Structure formats: C-alpha cells, structure tokens
Amino acid sequence: MRKSTHLTVSSAAAVLAFCAFTALGTVPTTGATGRPAAAGRAAAAAAGPDSPTLPLTRSATSTEIAPGVTETSLVVGRTNTADAWTVQVNQPLTDGGPYDRATAALGPKARADRLAAALRAKGYAPRVEEIRTPAYADRPAGTLGWTVRVGRYADRPAAATVLAGLTRAGFAGENRYTAQDGTDPEALQRVFVLRVDFKQFTGRVDSDFGPSVDAPEHLTDLVTSTRALAGINAQWSADSGAPLGLYVKDGRLLSAATQGRGGVRMARGGRELDVDTYTTRITVSAGGATREIDGINRIPGEIWNCGGVGGDQPTEHPQQDFKCTDDSELVRFTSDWTTPPTGAGAEVVLDRDDRVTAVNRTRGAKPPAGGSTIQGIGEGAQWLIAHARTGARLGITQRVLDGVGHDVPLTPDTTILQVGPTLVRDGLVSVNAVGDGIIREGIDQTHTYNWVVRGNPRSMVGVDDQGRLLLVVVDGRQVGWSSGLSITGGAELMKSLGAREALNLDGGGSSVMVTTGSGIVNRPSDTTGQRSLSNVLLVRPNAAGR
C-alpha cells in the first residue's frame, strides 16, 4: 500500500528515469514503438513491438529529425487506483490567524493540528500529513512542514463540492490530485527527449528570442521564422517579457545575473556545454567616479528572483518567483529592448562607443542602434546628473564570473542561460536548492512545496559523456496524461538519461517542445496552449545564426 504521509522525492523518479534511459537506448528510430523493460530486464526492450507486456504499460516512439537529431516520446508508468482528488485546507501564516483568509499550503505541526481540530469541530475528518524534502547539495533532508487534507474523491467535481462546503464553514483551500504529490514512483508520466549527436549533426544549438528582448514570442513562431529543426523553452520572464537572470547571446550580455544562481554555458554551436553558477560585475565610470550598474534590460527598482546587488530589499539572496526592490539603481538598456520605461529619475544616452549624446532628467529614451541608455532612479539618478557629461565617453566594464570566480570569456559563439537550479554536476545529482533560492526564506514554505516538491511540468538541458546534447520536457498537472516531476525527480531523470551535466529550465505552463515535422510534440499544461516565451533553445540545421 502506498504511503501518503511522507514525501520520498528521490525514489519517486527512479523507475521513470531508468525506463526513459532504457527506451532511448533501444527503440528503433523513425516512428517505431516498443515497450521498454524495467530494471533487470533491459534486454527485453530490444525486441521492439513484440516485447512482452510489462506490469505497467510503457511505450516509446523515436523519430529522426535530421542526421544526429532524434526526438523520443515516452509514456511511463500508470494511473494508480489509489490516487484521488482531495481538499487541501489552507493554514494561516501566523498562530491565531483567520482560517477563512488562510493562504499557506503547509505549516508547523502545531498549527496544522489546531486547524485539524477546528475542522473536526465542524464535522470533518481531516488528516495531517508530513511533507519531507530529500537531501540537496546544500541542505540536508528534513521536514518542510505539515499539510491538512480532507477526503478522497473519485473526481474533481465531488472534491469541489466539499471545498465549497468548507468555504461556507469558514475555511479556505483548494483541490489537489494525489498523483501529483511525488509519492508514487510509478506515476503516469509523458517524457519528450531531443538528443543531438554532434558526431553526425553538422548544425548548431543556440538561443534566440523574438523581435526584441522584451517581446515574448511563441516557440512555434520562432522555429518557423528561424527555419530551425526543433526547440524548447529556456528562461523564465519578468512582467515586462524580458528574461530573468544572466543571458548572453552571441557573446553579448543582454541581462545581468541573479548572483550565484545556476546556469548553462554553450559554445561552438552547443558542442561545448558547462553547467555552473554565475555572477556579473558591471560598472560605469564618469568624471573620475565609478558606480555599479545594478541590471541590464529590466525595470529599475524591480529585481525578480532577487539575487541583486546594492542593498536590495528584503534580501540580496536569490529567491525563486519573488520580487525584491531597490529605490536607488542604475539599469542599462541595450538597443535589443523596444522602449525603456518612463518615469522620474535620470538617464544618459550612449552611442555604440559609449559616448554620451544626451543627459536627460526624465527616463524613457529609446537606445540608438548599437548604443544604449543608462537609467537611474533615486541616488542612481543623482549620480548620473553629477558625473555624466554630453560628449564624454563613459567607461563601462562587464564581467561574467563562474562559480570559482574566474572570468568567463564572452566570445561571439558564447551563449549563457541562467535558469536553475543545477540538477547534475560531474555525473551526480546536485541540486543547489538554497544557493539557487528555490527554498524560500521565512516561515511560509508554500512556494517551495508547490514548485520544488510537487510534480510539475519540467524542461531541462544537459550533456552526456559522449558530448550529446539532451533537451528534455516532461508534461505535468494533467490528470490521466502526466503527473509531472519534482525538482529532484527531474535531476534523477537527467542523470539516468546519461547526463554528465544538467540544468533545470523554466517549467510549468512554459514547458514546450517543437519539431518542424510534428509541431508541438508535448501537451503544455495551460488550457490556452503554449505560452509566449522570453527566449528559447533552438536546434538549427546549419551554422547560420540570426
């Protein structure tokens, strides 16, 4: 009988990962299907369509996109009859807080017990479940918190009816499907893998974006407009549409780092790939004074995912999906941005040689072709007014540093995407959960539970010992189709696919894979279909970039 009170993320991905690895190595190409074998019976998978039926139905279909480029679609696991819809009852963020406006998915044991007692007083039969996390590279295994649930129901409408009654009784919550908890190692999953073998493939893999760095675009449109063979989503985006974290394209620094967060560096058209942690150091000198530039191509004062410099509040530590603020900043805008934000402050307009062509006491000028602007707010605006002079050339330095503090050369063939967390380093599962900010600071661990621990759609990139690039998408949040993986589950999948290095990309509703022959090959979790993306990874048929 499946245990439902303890989350065992590491084991939850083991069966999926092994079966995916087996299938990739054994199924025939060009549309053939088969049933990959479970552990200990790998040889049976080589028999293809006539292999024996397994206790769990698993299938794989591989298609050659181009010489050296293969797309494999896997169905792994099965629907467990023990899975059901349930009602998760929210907990207040403080002891004694109101239940009807509670927002936390989990909390300390004593708080969960008090909520359970309040539910019993209203005639409900709640259960209190411990949520545990595995050991990460920078955090030991332990209890994340306790969640409170009511009932097990065959379908969502039945659970929704109970949730409505709980709401009328003065509680708040939401419906959950237990297959997405991460407790079942054989939960139904759909996995899609693009494998690029550079021993045969003569093209390149690199990044691209829409008409401007702040204008998101559908992956299908980018694949079509660039004549790419295939692609997947890459970085997450801010409200502006621009990518979050370090972004280098063709050696050009287009977005500053979320300091110390994981990223992937690619060179030589994807033939060279490294996963590491990255920081940036960007300064401007004028009139004998030097000041740090806080960001590139983002809204001044808003630091999504935090990890900034210069006194950001409430923290300079990375925090996934959280916005820090700073009322005194300098932010540089390149000509890749459409129209920078307007507002109070100051700005300088620079030509392609970083010579000042204008000093403005308001913000919003468009950067000239090949040039840039530097916007200042608060003390940053005062610094620009005091030191920048029309006709003077500013000294701008831009450094990208790896995890040991070495400068990363930004050659014309360099691509860097900072997303995270890291998943595999030197062939071992290595999730830098605290350093990457996926473990939230503070008491409320709802985001950590939902984003890190539970099953979600995931996109990942990696490289194996043979230098083959792996672009992977796993669907999730879709009952009867695919449950999704935890962060650790994604790491174990990439390791078992043979990855020597691997990094998590943006996921959730952004997870999408496209090939020229099939269009969208997975099933994005948003009911509206694929999202517009800040940037993507593309498999191109030749060395021509954009």
pLDDT at 525: 97
pLDDT at 228: 98
pLDDT bucket at 9, cuts 50 / 70 / 90: very low
* Contact present, 221 and 373 (Cβ < 8 Å): no
pLDDT at 52: 22
pLDDT bucket at 84, cuts 50 / 70 / 90: very high
CA distance 490 to 475: 11
pLDDT digit string, tens, across residues 305-352? 999 998 899 999 999 999 999 999 999 999 999 989 999 999 999 999
Count Cβ atoms within 10 A of the Cβ of residue 355 and give its class: 0-12 exposed, 13-18 middle, 19 or more buried.
middle
pLDDT at 486: 95
pLDDT at 528 over 50: yes
pLDDT at 133: 94
Cα-based torsion angle of the residue sequence 268, 269, 271, 273 in order, rounded to the nearest 10 degrees:
90
pLDDT bucket at 536, cuts 50 / 70 / 90: very high
pLDDT at 184: 80
pLDDT bucket at 183, cuts 50 / 70 / 90: confident
Q: What are the backbone angles phi and psi of residue 361, rounded to the nearest 5°?
A: -100, 10
pLDDT at 366 over 90: yes
If phi over 0 gives left and psi between -120 and 50 gives alpha, with beta otherwise, what is residue 96? left
CA distances from 185 to 56, 178, 493, 510 (A): 12, 13, 12, 24
The mean pLDDT of 503-514, rounded to a whole number, is 98
CA distance 472 to 235: 14
The mean pLDDT of 149-155, rounded to a whole number, is 97
pLDDT at 24: 52
pLDDT bucket at 22, cuts 50 / 70 / 90: very low
pLDDT at 12: 43
What percentage of the chain carries pLDDT values higher than 70? 89
pLDDT at 543: 56
Mapped to the 3 state alphabet, what secondary structure does 51-71 carry? CCCCCCCCEEEEEEEECCEEE
Mean of per-residue pLDDT scores for the chain: 89
pLDDT bucket at 77, cuts 50 / 70 / 90: confident
Element (H, E) at 12: helix 9-12
The amino acid sitting at 531 is R
CB atoms within 10 A of CB 28: 14
pLDDT digit string, tens, across residues 372-382? 999 999 999 99
The mean pLDDT of 413-424, rounded to a whole number, is 97
CA distance 379 to 461: 40
pLDDT digit string, tens, across residues 237-251? 988 899 999 999 999
pLDDT at 11 over 70: no
CA distances from 270 to 203, 204, 472 (A): 9, 6, 15
pLDDT at 300: 97
Read off the pTM.
0.90
